[in-house]
Amino acid sequence: MPKNTIGYAKADYEGVISTLCAGCGHDSISGAIVQACYEMAIEPHRVAKLSGIGCSSKTPNYFLNNSHGFNSVHGRMPSVATGANMANRDLIYLGVSGDGDTASIGMGQFVHAIRRNLNMLYIVMNNGCYGLTKGQDSATADQGSVSKSGSVNPFEGIDLPGMALELGATFVARSFSGDKTQLVPLIKAALSHKGFALIDVMSPCVTFNNNAGSTKSYDYVRDHIEALAEIGFVPEKEEITVSYETGTTVDVELHDGSVVHLQKLADGWDPRDRQAAMRRLQAAKTEGEILTGLLYIDPNSKDLHEVIKSDSRPLNSLKEEDLCPGSAILDLINEDFR
């Protein structure tokens, strides 16, 4: 059995056998998470996986069995993640949510986590429905999409990446559960990004939303997918050795020294341009295309800890003298308030 550079086999990143419906897109995303963490040689105990409620939110049980986990109430994963992250900034935070969990009940929580640029990867397993409660339309269901029972969705669907860009997110991507060659490097890049990283993953619900007329079915997504670039993730230690024609590639260096390598760019587009990304998303929407890939990245992102200048150490490592510096310091502080 092959091992990664820190001596773990892929199986060490797996979870229990999934109880989701056979063929559920969510399982493929779990597979991509396992693959990415294995390849990045992340120590499993350095990861905290968090989720809300839904089929999607059940998945943390199916990957990273040796990591920390928290299954919160419906839509409340962002605040639990915020608290955990504030308390211990040394862990890697991986939030998993559904389109219902995020775009309906959890919307308020979601937007504030983005606004604060909480250092975490937030994956939405987006199937356009409430899978767990038998497939009701969710807020990301596209207008006109036909449900399994034949009803047509009359409401405008929420585009999570578009909204995240609007809110100032520093890493925004969209992908498809059936395209691991794109999803795995995206997850790796997102895990290396310092700040809030959103990956909205089209993840068909085979049981309730894979019918003809649904815009979140395997067939529909495959037919309408449009990738912005081929993406590669190059860890810090490796060098990019292959040379490409100029103008067709962009390399974005992340704060930890690793590089996101984008190849075969659609007409010279630059992922560091927020406005261009927003325009492209809008254009794709009118064309009826599902734009995938790394839509936007801010390599100079400052995460919440940096903004509020919190202590660089996790709270559990602070000693009594750190927390209670004594009356001399208190006097100094009180002087300030005179």
Partner 1 sequence: MLKNLRIADLSNHTSLKPTEIKNPEYFHKVVDCQYACPAHTPVPEYIRLIAAERYTEAYMVNWESNVFPGVLGRTCDRPCEPACRRGRVEEEPVAICRLKRVAADNKGDVKAFMPQGPFASNGKRIALIGGGPAALTVARDLAPLGYQIDLYDDQDRGGGMMRSQIPSFRLPENVLNEEVNFILDLGIHTHFKTRVDSLRGVLDKGYDAVFVGTGAPKGKDLADLPGRWDSSGNIHIGIEWLASVAFEHTQKIGKKVLVLGGGNTAMDCCRTSRRLGGEEVKVVVRSPRKEMKASPWEIEDALHEDIPIFENHVPKAFVTENGKLVGMTFEKVEPKYENSRRKLVPTGEPLVFFEADDVLIAIGQENSFPWIERDLGLEFNEWGLPALNETTFQSTVPNVFFGGDAALGPKNVITAVAQGHQAAVSIDLYCNQQSLTERPSPYTNLISQKMGIHEWIYDSDVTTDIRYKVPHADKSLTLKDRKKEVELGFSQDTGFKEAQRCLNCDVQTVFSESRCIECDACVDICPTTCITFTTNGEEEDLRTRLNAPANDTSQDLYVSDSLKTGRVMIKDENVCLHCGLCAERCPTSAWDMQKYLYSVTKAGNQCGILQELTT
Ligand X SMILES: Cc1ncc(C[n+]2csc(CCOP(=O)(O)OP(=O)(O)O)c2C)c(N)n1
Options 82, 207, 217, 301; binder of ligand SF4; rule CB under 6 A? 207
Considering CB distances under 5 to 8 angstroms, the limit depending on partner class, which of ligand SF4, Mg ion, ligand X, none binds residue 141?
none
User: Which string of x and - marks every residue 5-24 that binds partner 1 (by CB under 8 A)?
Assistant: ------------xx--xxxx
Pick the stretch among 51-59, 243-251, 269-277, 301-309 that binds ligand X (CB under 6 A): 51-59
Q: Which whole-number Å values give the CA distances from 117 to 150, 159, 160, 218, in the listed order? A: 40, 19, 16, 32
User: Which string of x and - marks every residue 133-152 that binds ligand X (by CB under 6 A)?
Assistant: x----x--------------
Instruction: Report the C-alpha gap between 145 and 329 in whole angstroms.
Output: 63
Considering CB distances under 5 to 8 angstroms, the limit depending on partner class, which of ligand X, ligand SF4, Mg ion, none binds residue 53?
ligand X
Closer to ligand X by Cβ: residue 25 or 195: 25
> Is 208 one of the binding residues for ligand SF4 (CB under 6 A)?
yes
Strands 92-98 and 47-51: parallel
Instruction: Report the C-alpha gap between 304 and 90 in whole angstroms.
Output: 13
Residues 28-57 that bind ligand SF4 (CB under 6 A): 55
Closer to Mg ion by Cβ: residue 97 or 119: 97
CB of 232 to ligand X, least distance (A): 29
Residue ranges that bind ligand X, judged by CB under 6 A: 53-56, 74, 98-101, 105, 125, 127, 129-133, 138
